[in-house]
Structure 1
Amino acid sequence: MLNTFQQEQHPLLPKSTHDESSRQEFSKSLKAFVQQGLLPGLQPVFTQRAAKHFEQQHGRAPQDRRDIRKAMEVDLYFQHYAALNRISQEAMWNSVIDAVDRQLPELIEKARDWSAKTKAELRMDPDFVPPKYVTALDIHCMPGGYASEVTKDDVSVAALYDRGAYLYGMGFAGPLNDDMGRSVCNYIRRNLPGFKPRRILDMGCTVGHSTLPYKQLFPDAEVWGIDVGGPVVRYGHARAAALGVEVNFAQMNAEKTDFEDGYFDLIVSHILMHETSGKAMPRVVRECHRLLSPGGYVIHADLPPFDNMNAFTQFILDNETWYNNEPFWGAMREVDQIKLAVDAGFPAADVAFATAPMAILEAAAEGAAGYTDASTSAVADREFTAGEFAPGGGWEVLIARKAVLA
């Protein structure tokens, strides 16, 4: 049941040979095995073995996720799990990169052609320097990260991300990898009735997976996606055009954009915060406040903070920090994001956390509304839940509203 849900082969997505497709499906299945076959064993290993050894050594029980890590990292079972999890991540990217390299000249030409066919704007800055916290390492082990360029008008890391992100999520992001955007759009539709933003900004949009649903929900709105990576905004602009959606893209840093004060009525992001440094995060929130019109909303979708999790769940999620080149993952979950928003100028009464149920799981339960019957039936038949990606089947959203002028 794991491999029946396939990614949509849109015009910009690299085409794989039979052998490349087989490797990709293997890497996806290997990740599923790690999550289904090995991850569930960590809890009993900790309870029945590692915690007891820790208590014998330290004279007390493990108290937090750091203690649990100390107890677990010397255990052979956890070492096996962590090693295979890292191997599956690297194998995933490696299974895609050959197809991208082989077709790169063609992909660049396609991106140029599709971008030329749309009225949507593409802003590129030849002097733009991506922040060091993005370029210092290959985020989530993806070769080249988001911003590396190997040739003129490069889109290689963008194409790699487009396919790799689908494999990483094992299909739970939907045929177009857009479940987070769809989920937040559903949240807006249900919880903000009558809200019709004229201008929408998606910060840290990468290739626009989650950006396009906002144009589909608000077809009359001016929609922008920004990212620090040149290749991803080039690819995102062309991909949107190929999918028939008119969205503007720009290479900008969410900490400081070129848009005028109060330009947007809605600002969103999707898993941006856990890939942003602790110093940059407050600046991003302040920039959101500057850019919003009075009464406008900002919604940052990510995984939840550690506040409401037990120590063992925190330990499991924090494995991304330690073993998947996600240096800000754990630290971000300890930040008081409510305070960040209030300090940026949002009224305390208008800042809160909420949950946006995963659109694809809702569609599976409701008869595939908004998704294809084939894709949602495959998800409904899965033998595992989406909890590793969205605990409880929903995305945590930080939502804040800018004060209305008196």
Structure 2
Amino acid sequence: MLNTFQQASHQILPQATADEAARQEFAKSFKGFIQSTLLPGLTPVYNTRVAKAFEKEHGRAPQDRRDIRSGMVKDFYFQHYAASNRIAQELLWESVNVSVDRQLPELIERARELSASTKAKLVIPEDFVPPRYVTAFDIHCMPGGYCSEVTKDDVAVGALYDRGVFLYSMGYTGPNNDDMGRSVCNYLRRHAPDFKPRRILDMGCTVGHSTLPYKEYFPDAEIWGIDVGAPCVRYAHARAAGFGLEVNFAAMNAEETTFEDGYFDLVVSHILLHETSGKAMPRVFAEAHRVLAPGGMMIHADLPPFDLMDPFTQFILDNETWYNNEPFWGAMRDMDQIALAEKVGFDRSAVKFDTAPMAVMEFAAAAEGYSQQAAEDVAERDFTAGEFAPGGGWEVLIARKAEAAALAA
């Protein structure tokens, strides 16, 4: 069943004309049609045609996602599915870009006004250079990627991402695209009610979708969202101000931040890791450990590992690697995150997935108790829906830095 949520408007969200809104809704619906109608057809195609042809050619059944892919790419039904999926992705961004381009001067000016209205910090060093694994191509086919700027104080790609990611997720991340942050806050509320972090760092925050729930749940905490995209954090800062929330943002690389040792009590990320690289990901873990205070927690919400999926499901998900400019998508799932966390200093006994050997995050927007009305009621935010539950779509790595006494020993 398709999700019926509509994105909640806010002070800096690009507004669409009737024609633009129709194009955007078509792009979202087309993507929904592909997922609900074309995607399920891949299973019988594989079972009745591709697997048999592969076994006839190779004298054995397909063993892994790579074997399956080598057979499926030859099949016309898969070709039709893959082409449609790529076209839908490109249409999605194009439908939003029209609105952003038309309003860009007004969006920039509105961002300046909103940012000037808040005491929260916005830090964008003039000499900051984003990593090449982000700038070398347009991740998930978003024109300009996260870092492109075409004018002074540009917010274009931030605005594009804000609206585009709602269409990409077909509404399942909620009216404010904040499902993942809300769900991590739920986890902490339910399983660590006495944990009251004074400072929180959100790595790879993009436009702050998942950052803002931490300020709502921990209103007295100092919150920082960092990202390598300057236009994104510029937009994020203004967006947070529009919501009346004082949240600091900075253009900064999660591999090497400028924060002092032990500054934060909680370090989080939401779908950051699969957009880094094999060399960067261990550095992100090490930096999280460095900036955490003793007893602090690291929580990374991202994609579930391949080793708990059947090969055909791995093949389906790995299509993002091949057709959606997500080069680290599949490789990240093959990495042992617990081993990485242990290597940078986290005690193995304090590193876990919420439901061994992994946890997955339920979409709060689809969960019981998360209604459109509740989402729009800013005065009484609902943190009762959404948490980590088997059957969802996100892996959640949770690690706690050893207490001071243990570190000294």
Q: TM-score, normalised by structure 2?
A: 0.93
Q: Does 1:343 align with 2:343?
A: yes
2: CA distance, partners of 1:366 / 1:96? 27
Deviations 1:270-317 (A, max 9, x none): 000000011000000000000000000000001101111000110011
Q: What is the rounded CA distance, in whole Å, between the counterparts of 2:92 and 2:133 in structure 1?
A: 23
**Alignment partner, residue 266 of structure 2:** 266
- Deviation for aligned residue 1:368: 6.9
Following the alignment from structure 2 to structure 1, what is the Cα–Cα distance between the partners of residues 168 and 142? 11
Q: Which of the numbers 350, 362, 369 marks the counterpart of 1:357? A: 362
Q: In structure 1, give the amino acid aligned to 2:394.
A: W
Q: State the SS of the aligned residue for 2:61.
A: coil
Provide structure 2 residue ranges, at least 5 long, that are not aligned to the other structure. 378-385
Q: Deviations over 1:159-212 (max 9, x none)?
A: 000000000000001111000111111111111120000000000000000000
Match of 1:371 in 2: 375
Letter in 1 for 2:332: M
Match of 2:318 in 1: 318
State the shift of 1:254 in Å.
0.2
2:382 maps to which residue? Answer: none
Distance 2:362 2:4 in 1: 23
CA RMSD of aligned residues (A): 1.6
Q: Is the 8 A contact 2:363 2:392 kept in 1?
A: yes
Q: Is the 8 A contact 2:4 2:171 kept in 1?
A: no
Name the CA distance, whole Å, in 2 between partners of 1:320 and 1:86.
Answer: 9
* Superposition map of 1:175-194 within 5 A: 175-194=175-194
Letter in 1 for 2:403: V
Q: CA deviation at 1:365?
A: 4.8
Give the length in aligned residue pairs. Answer: 390
Deviations 1:9-32 (A, max 9, x none): 101000111110000000000000
Instruction: Map 1:97-246 to 2 at 5 A.
Output: 97-246=97-246
- SS of corresponding position for 1:224: strand
CA distance in 2, matches of 1:290, 1:303: 24
Distance 1:69 1:2 in 2: 28
In the other structure, the counterpart of 1:378 is: none
Where has structure 1 moved over 4 Å in runs of 4 or more?
365-370
CA contact (8 A) 1:180 1:395 kept: no
Post-superposition shift, 1:357? Answer: 2.9
What's the TM-score once normalised by structure 1's chain length?
0.94
- For 1:382, the equivalent position in structure 2 comes to none
Task: Confirm or deny that 1:13 pairs with 2:13.
Answer: yes
Is there any run of 5+ residues in structure 1 with no aligned partner, and where? 374-385
**Compared with structure 1, are the counterparts of its residues 160 and 30 closer, same or farther at alpha carbon in structure 2 (3 Å cutoff)?**
same
Change (3 A) 1:157 1:367: closer
In the other structure, the counterpart of 1:392 is 391
Residue in structure 1 matched with residue 330 of structure 2 by the alignment: 330
Contact 1:3–1:25, Cα closer than 8 Å, also in 2: no
- State whether structure 2 residue 39 is matched by structure 1 residue 58: no
Q: 2:293 maps to what in 1?
A: 293
Residue type of the alignment partner of 1:200: I
